[in-house]
């Protein structure tokens, strides 16, 4: 078994999204419009969650670890690993979150200090399509892994003549990671909005090691996205019904009959 290096986010994100906009069980995940700071509302449609992105806007994938232990999030946009740029698979590198930590993944990782910002853009301009991988444009995915805690091994000391062995003591802990497997492709036909490769931004990370509890993810979160116009056209978002104008059947009659002010009250302020 090989040991994989993964990335550890050093800084916490800014204000968190409302829980009503978050998805997931062992982690809360939401998509945030960075230009407005608003978490996009998920719309449930035929077994999938959709959000409406604004073309040209920067966005972030906000994750909060809900566990009391570390968590690994292998993250993809349009079927591409956001850290390595490889076609996404379960066994790849990802972000490691400390217990309760919240962080915004804001772009394609370019180095330990920079990312290229995520932007909602037309599908032909998406990073996936520009690199010849258009099949999964329009979907964001997170494969979440719990950490395998090192086992406690008890080793008995050598026996001594005419004496009972003392209580055993724990040995040093050791652990090795488990390898993952590649996921099946998630097609996204009809998607007209993709994730662009935006401007460079500072975003600092460090490296750590993470032993997975199991090769398969403990949870997979999939969020599809498109423009609001396309979601309306597909019936995923319902068009708001126009409100009828307010009418009054007796427009010449006052609503209440009380003593009116004297004619010069507003001018003179007389009691």
Is pLDDT at 54 greater than 50 in this prediction?
A: yes
Number of H helices, E strands in the chain: 3, 18
Integer Cα distance of 43 and 38 in angstroms: 15
- pLDDT over threshold 70, residue 16: no
C-alpha 71: how far from chain center: 14
pLDDT per residue over 191-224, tens digit each? Answer: 479 999 999 999 988 999 999 999 999 999 999 9
Whole-angstrom distance, CA of residue 192 vs CA of residue 228: 11
Q: Is residue 164 part of a domain?
A: no
Identify the DSSP state of 12: -
pLDDT: which is higher, 264 or 116? 116
Query: What's the structural domain count of the chain?
Result: 1
Tokens linked to 152:
């406690």
| Residue-level pLDDT at 21 | 74
pLDDT for 3 equals 38
Token representation of residue 68: 């009391």
pTM: 0.70
Nearest-angstrom CA–CA distance, 219 and 27: 9
Q: Residue for token digits 């995940």? A: 29
Residue 95 lies in a domain: yes
Q: Which domain holds residue 68?
A: 5-148+178-233
Instruction: Decide: 134 and 230 in contact? Cβ < 8 Å.
Output: no
The whole-number pLDDT of residue 19 equals 52
User: Is 105 within the bounds of a domain?
Assistant: yes
Cα–Cα dist 206/73, whole Å:
15
Q: Looking at the domain assignment, is residue 219 inside a domain?
A: yes
Q: In this model, does residue 172 exceed pLDDT 50?
A: no
**pLDDT of 244-259, one tens digit each?**
787 778 777 766 667 7
The conformation of residue 123, written as its DSSP 8-state character, comes to G
């Amino acid at each position: 078994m090989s040991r994989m290096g993964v990335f550890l986010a050093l800084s916490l994100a800014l204000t968190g999204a409302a829980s009503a906009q978050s998805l997931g069980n062992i982690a809360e995940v939401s998509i945030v419009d960075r230009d407005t700071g608003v978490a996009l509302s998920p719309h449930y449609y035929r077994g999938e969650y959709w959000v409406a992105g604004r073309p040209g806007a920067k966005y972030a994938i906000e994750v909060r670890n809900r566990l009391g232990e570390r968590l690994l999030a292998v993250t993809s946009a349009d079927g591409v690993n956001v850290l390595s740029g490889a076609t996404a698979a379960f066994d790849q590198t990802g972000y490691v979150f400390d217990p309760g930590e919240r962080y915004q993944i804001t772009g394609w990782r370019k180095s330990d200090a920079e990312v290229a910002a995520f932007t909602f853009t037309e599908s032909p301009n998406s990073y996936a399509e520009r690199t010849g991988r258009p099949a999964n444009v329009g979907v964001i995915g997170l494969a979440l892994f719990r950490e395998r805690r090192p086992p406690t091994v008890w080793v008995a000391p050598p026996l001594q003549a005419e004496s009972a062995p003392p209580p055993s003591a724990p040995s040093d802990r050791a652990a090795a990671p488990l390898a993952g497997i590649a996921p099946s492709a998630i097609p996204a036909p009809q998607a007209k909005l993709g994730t662009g490769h935006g401007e460079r931004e500072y975003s600092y990370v460090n490296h750590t090691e993470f032993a997975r509890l199991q090769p398969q993810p403990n949870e997979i979160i999939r969020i599809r996205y498109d423009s609001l116009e396309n979601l309306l056209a597909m019936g995923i978002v319902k068009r708001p019904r126009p409100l009828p104008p307010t009418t009054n059947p007796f427009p010449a009659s006052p609503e209440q009959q009380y003593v009116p002010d004297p004619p010069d009250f507003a001018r003179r302020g007389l009691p």
